[in-house]
Structure formats: C-alpha cells, structure tokens
Structure 1
Amino acid sequence: MSQYRSLADSGKEWVFRREEPFVTQEDRAAILLMTESAGANIWRDYISDAFLYPDLFSKDMWVKTGKTGEDDWESVWESDELKLPEGVLTHCANWGDDTKVYFCCHADFVIETTWGGFARSWKAFLFLDSDAVLVGRKKKQALQFCENGQVALLLRP
C-alpha cells in the first residue's frame, strides 16, 4: 500500500502550480503528500504524540522549548530574493540537497520532499497552513514557519 496520496485531491496542489513563486516540474514531482496514516506516523515520531495541530502545542513542548534563534521569513518571502533566509541556511547547513524532509502542517497533512526541493520551492510551501514545522529525516535541526513572519530555528530532542 502506498504511503502517498494525490496532492490534487487535497485541494492544495494549486500552491505548487502558481506562476509565482514558480515550482519546476521536477521539484513538483518530488513533492509527495503522505497518506493520513503515514503522515500521522511522521507527526507522532517527529513532532508530537499529544497534539494534532500546531496551535494546540503546549508551552513545554520541544517546538516551544527547543528554539535556538529565529529569523524573518516574511520580508524575504515578499521580496524578489529566491533563497531561504540566511539564518535558516546556516541552521540547516549540514543538510544535503537529498536529505528527506517533512513539511508538517498538522497530523493529517504532511508533505515529504527533499531539502534541495524545499529550498528552491519554499515560497510556495508557505501558502499552506501557518505554523508548519519542517523536520529533516535523522536530523536534529527543525524549523517552524510562524504566522507572525518569523521562522523559529529549533533543535529536536
């Protein structure tokens, strides 16, 4: 049984088909929406086994306590600059382009792609739900793109 489901059926595919920010066909092909059960497993293992949505996180959860810094994503997102904010690139400097990453909006909506694909397409991803958490497979670093325009630079336990 596949661990992926159709992004088109989710109603969210449009964010990756916009002219601006443009996502290449190659990068779109590597953006995989996980089935609800597979996404729930990633959410449970990487994010939380107690909270299903970011807005429910308690203040003592690792996403709140593991912050090592923050950077402004919103001003870069609104500019012509294509690269992720410098603080994000520095925080995730040991991630290779082929590192598998999970963009976790909530327990039922998790997208798998590669770090290189995410880094090229990050502006499109941010059209999705706010407060999403990005984690890298077998990586301690994580990011939370907060509704206030800041990206929290996190370390997972």
Structure 2
Amino acid sequence: MSYLPLDEYNRKWIFTHQSMPVDDALLPLIKPFTQAKSAQVWNDFISSNSPTADHFGSKEWPMKKSSWTNEIDWQHRWDSDNESLPEEVLEFIDWSDEVTVYFCYEKYNLIETSWGTFKKTWKNFLFYDDLPLLIGKKKSQVLWFNSKGKVKLGTRS
C-alpha cells in the first residue's frame, strides 16, 4: 500500500479546517503517501542524503543557485481573498491540470495530487510552510516555498 487514508493522515486538519475546508469532491484526490513510499519518492526526486530541506548539503540540487531562476512572494496572495496562486507561479508552471505532483514536506511526509487539485487547494497545503517543495512526477520545474512568504521557481537536475 502506497497511500494512507486521508482520515489517518496526521495533518488531515489542514484540508478540513473550518476556515478553509476543501471541497468534498477534491478530498479523495489528496493522497498522503505512507512513510515508506514518501521516503522512496524523496530519495528518487529530492535527496538521498538529507531527510529535510534544513539538512540539504551544498552539492545537492536544491542548494545550487543554478537551480533557481526567480523568487516571488506567495504570502500576500495567501492572506488575500484571491484563491489563485500568484501569477508568476502560474506562468512558470505550464502543466496541464492532470499532471501528477508531489508536495514534499520532508522525507517521510509527502502528498500526491494533481496540478489542478493543488492549484485549487494550495492555501491548505501551505498551512505548513517549513520549506516544502512541489515537484511534477515527470517534469523538471519545481517550487520551493519558505516560511518567510517566498517561493523559489526553478528546475531540478
């Protein structure tokens, strides 16, 4: 089994919180991985050495300046009534809504969804903003969010 039922996910509340509940039709599309599957995806796509973004080594792709092309503010949009991602993000990520994405909090805590679902629920995902990365399953573009309200736009190698 690769997925946890959302009801068993320790951060389920970020998708059911009364201030920003996710539409019931979208909840089944938000699929937390088990710890084992999370670790496998993290190792394959992000780092085989570091369990969290705080521990990335200088030679790992997220720490290389060449991986990043821009950094923009996401916090202002998150705090507003505007539900869409910042325009710069939407211009940078030109994926179809069906593209599988992984929202990566840390090595043992990843969620699979689609780009379309993420776009509709991104504010929920960012209740936890401790350096999560968003990557596409077969895409090179990546987003790296931080708790200072910024997101780096880049390409993973």
Q: TM-score, normalised by structure 2?
A: 0.94
Counterpart code for 1:20 = S
Alignment of 1:1-157 (within 5 A): 2-65=1-64, 66-93=67-94, 95-157=95-157
Separation in 1, partners of 2:39, 2:52: 11
**SS at 2:21's partner residue?**
coil
What is the CA deviation profile of residues 30-74 of structure 1, one whole-angstrom value per residue up to 9, with x for unaligned ones? 000101111111101111111010111123321122111011010
CA positional deviation for 1:129: 4.7
TM-fit CA distance, 1:18: 1.8
CA distance in structure 2 between the aligned counterparts of 1:52 and 1:106, rounded to whole angstroms = 6
Q: Deviations over 1:2-36 (max 9, x none)?
A: 11013332321010012332311121110001011
Structure 1 residues not aligned, in runs of 5+: none
Letter in 1 for 2:73: D
Question: 1:52·1:107 contact (CA, 8 Å) conserved in 2?
Answer: yes
RMSD (Å), alpha carbons: 1.2
CA distance in 2, matches of 1:156, 1:7: 29
Cα distance in 2, alignment partners of residues 147 and 56 from structure 1: 16
* TM-score normalised by structure 1 residue count: 0.94
SS at match of 1:52: coil
Matched residue count: 155
Alignment gaps of 5+ in structure 2: none
How many Å apart are 1:115 and its aligned residue? 0.3
Residue type of the alignment partner of 1:45: D
